[in-house]
Structure 1
Amino acid sequence: MAGCLAALRRPWIGIMLWTWLSIMNPHRYTWGIAYSAPLAAMAAASVLLGLLMTKDRESPFKASPVTWLVVFMVWMTISWLAGIDPSGDYEQWKKVMKIDFFIILSLMLLHSKQHIFALMWVCAGSLALLGVKGGIFTLTSGGNFRVWGPPGSFIGDNNEFALALVIAIPLLRFMQLQLQNRWARHGMTMAMALCAAAALGSQSRGALLAISAMTLYFWWHGKNKITVGIVLLSVAVPLIMFMPESWTARMSTIGTYQEDASAMGRISAWWSAWNSAFHYPFGVGFDGARPELFALYSPYGANPLAAHSIYFQVLGNHGFGGLFLFLGTFIATWRSAGWLRRCEPLTPEAQWCRDLGTFCQVSIAGFAVGGAFLSLSYFDLPYNILVMVVLTRVWVEKKSWLTEPIYPLGWKTIPGLAARTKEG
């Protein structure tokens, strides 16, 4: 309630509240009325009211990823209306549109370095809390039980939760680089290790591939490959050796997918999505796991299963046009992050922009690889990374360090938690 009231005057606070509720789903760990309380609706209402009253807003069309996203939203709406069951798909369409609409609102209301850092802390910090909890559970249980995400959320399933943690780990590393206190940096190292343990403890094969690809990309682009490699191995090897034989047996099925019913079910879903896309130019709508579609378009029978792939999920739901726009959105985000990574820092105050570009690219790489085996196309976090990258690029292009007051780096960049200082 306090956050909603604050958002009436400063609607960017409402954006943070909405993001926290959407990613962490803290109310799902309660009971009774609180479990199903319309907290997100309250946050949304406060942001919209604050938007009407504030003058501190800008056009959301700040870079090419935003244009790609908006066109993708329009295409998804056409796909929903032209799909097999628009009335049945309405709730999913509304859910996806709300997420993307708040991404657009974020681009309107956030613009300063402090806003960017606040969004980073909310996104990565929310998942870090869940990851630390899951990592401790994995270690204390010997890795014999799977780790699950918030019930009833996008990442409630063990596989989706694991991928969310994989995407968050590079963001935590970026935040660690901004911390000045030695013990805070050590604490962040522990948080990243526990998030990795939780991702492994989920027993998700897609997450294992994602974290492997992400680690390789991070090592390849690291400045000191020997030191970084030693650190990564010193964390990865003990974690893998700690996991029980049941975990090893499950991971080994990656190479023998033909003998695994779950893997073959996914391949059946991929065939159904691929073949149906030729017959439905705008896609079938938000539900591609239909027996009639599998009977017509899958060579493995009519047993429907979710696509378990961001690519085939979008392809089946929205056709080749939708897949093109989905890929274009994140390729444009990747290129903008690469621009940040390659740009020469004109001042020490802008050094963090290069770090943000680097680690956002690492997160996108994890999403691209792990998402090939998981249905997480509409999850908030990758789109929040788009917001961070776009806002940071605009911040650099405007040379905003010349006009903004100087704040200490790290969590103290959030307005209200640090006193402003001026350059002498």
Structure 2
Amino acid sequence: MRDIFVTLLVLGGLPFALQRPVIGGLMWVWISVMNPHTQGWGFATTFPFAQLIAGVTLLSLLKSREKNTLPMTPITVTLIMFVIWMNITTLFALIPNAAWGQWNKVMKIMLMTFVVMMVIKKREHVRQLIWVLVISLGYYGVKGGIFTARSGGNQRVWGPLGTFIGDNNALALALIMTIPLMYYLMQELPKRWMRHLMLLSMGLCALAALGSYSRGGVLAIVAMLAFMWKKSRHKMAGAALLVMLVPLALLFMPEQWSARMDTIAEYQSDGSAMGRINAWHMAFNLACDRFFGGGFSLYEPVTFAMYAPDPSGVHAAHSIYFQVLGEHGFVGLALYLTLGLLTWRYAAWIVRHSRGRADLQWATSLAAMIQASLIGFAVGGAFLSLLYWDVPYYLMVAIMVTRTVVQQQLGMVPAPVSRLRHPRAPVGHNVAPPQGRGTGPEVK
């Protein structure tokens, strides 16, 4: 039944995606982030929905009469440079066969990220994008929160198998990043019961993140909550709420959860933590030795034998920073950090120029909440291999478009207008109407 439902949703949306590229872009975000086909048990689990949606979206983009161009901002240029650099480092990969296989996956993600940049252009598009992200990730948060409540926190919450967020730690980070986005949408909901429902969903997402037993997730949620409290206009009320709710949530979790969290301060005796540190040393040593890094998929025994302090401790990077450093060298790390810095500065610009204006309150709130999400990703991502996870790139797109909309409303840049053409003029020619009394300005 689930397989049929997902199939009908996708097939039913394709005609609309073919007509409007933005719908295809939003469908791609939904299928790539939520992976709804993984919730089935039959043919849908292996059906190439993503390829189908991507193909229709690209076709729609080619045939569309709308002006769908790539916005050439500093963020866009830096991302293009990062993609080019990843292609160069793949040519010098330590393990070519594995590298080219991963290259194929990453380049598809980047291609569709640029497509989403081209089709998301208005405030309403941004709002739809945030809703798609919240629904896609919130589904697992609500489901996982209910599961944690029913089990008393005695069983771990996992994400959909075979996806970026299938691991319990990755799912925790995804849910933590979703909570600020939910808060932004909650402020725009017109009905009180809707706001209460969204607030309940936020609580379930937080409970699911705790139920994942992710130590990195706990650090990420602490950093995110501290940032949200700092940006809040009601600091006393926010502090009182945290003082009441946090102890209750911690008391709800069983003793085994507390025991696992206690190992954060005792990482030297934790095999998993020491394995990650060994992988970080390997990535750093490799980047110092090879200007182009090791390329994609370098986490093999031969690589650790060459560069790791403990050659037997073969381990994934488990850090976005050491992942990009090991795979793409110091140049790749610099480009990736520049992307994050530019996105943060764009969001700060939006908050600074929109504050105090009622018509731009939505932009202030959205930019601040995306900053909170990025804080969570920056902290939690330090312990996870989520360099190519597409959600941070979609938030980057939302910030880019929001800044453009704010600039237009402030009169800093002209709003896009359609070109007018004289009704009798041949295609490709601009003809001025005859000058005389009562005529308007020359049409250009």
Shared topology, TM-score over 0.5? yes
Instruction: Compute the displacement of 1:124 (Å).
Output: 1.6
The reply to whether residue 376 of structure 1 matches residue 365 of structure 2 is: no
Residue equivalent to 2:439 = none
The reply to whether residue 286 of structure 1 matches residue 296 of structure 2 is: yes
Provide the secondary structure at the position in 2 that maps to 1:89. helix
* RMSD after superposition: 1.6
Instruction: Compute the displacement of 1:282 (Å).
Output: 1.1
Residue equivalent to 1:263 = 273
Instruction: Compute the displacement of 1:296 (Å).
Output: 2.0
Contact (CA 8 Å) 1:273, 1:288: kept in 2 or not? no
Q: d(CA) in 1 for partners of 2:388 and 2:63?
A: 30
Q: d(CA) in 2 for partners of 1:127 and 1:378?
A: 17
Tell me the TM-score normalised to structure 2 length. 0.88
The structure with the larger Rg is 2
Pairwise mapping of residues 15-414 of structure 1 onto structure 2 (< 5 A)? 15-344=25-354, 348-399=358-409
Q: d(CA) in 2 for partners of 1:346 and 1:260?
A: 49
Cα gap change, 1:400 to 1:10, in 2 (>3 Å): farther
Moved over 6 A (4+): 400-404
Instruction: Compute the displacement of 1:39 (Å).
Output: 0.3
Deviations 1:79-135 (A, max 9, x none): 112111232222211211111211111111111111110000001221111100000
Give the aligned residue type for 2:372. V
Q: d(CA) in 2 for partners of 1:144 and 1:297?
A: 39
Instruction: Compute the displacement of 1:58 (Å).
Output: 3.3
Instruction: Compute the displacement of 1:400 (Å).
Output: 8.6
Contact (CA 8 Å) 1:9, 1:50: kept in 2 or not? yes
Deviations 1:321-370 (A, max 9, x none): 10111111111001101111111358533210111110111011000001
Residue identity over aligned pairs, in percent, reads 45
Farther off after superposition, 371-380 or 89-98? 89-98
Q: d(CA) in 2 for partners of 1:326 and 1:252?
A: 32
Q: d(CA) in 1 for partners of 2:150 and 2:243?
A: 22
Q: d(CA) in 2 for partners of 1:203 and 1:99?
A: 29
Which runs of 5 or more structure 1 residues have no equivalent in the other structure? 405-424
Q: d(CA) in 2 for partners of 1:232 and 1:20?
A: 32
Residue equivalent to 2:419 = none
Give the aligned residue type for 1:249. A
Q: When the two structures are aligned, how many residues end up with a matched partner? A: 404
Cα gap change, 1:29 to 1:219, in 2 (>3 Å): same
Give the aligned residue type for 1:47. T
- Structure number with higher relative contact order (C-alpha < 8 Å, ≥ 6 residues apart): 1
Instruction: Compute the displacement of 1:234 (Å).
Output: 2.8
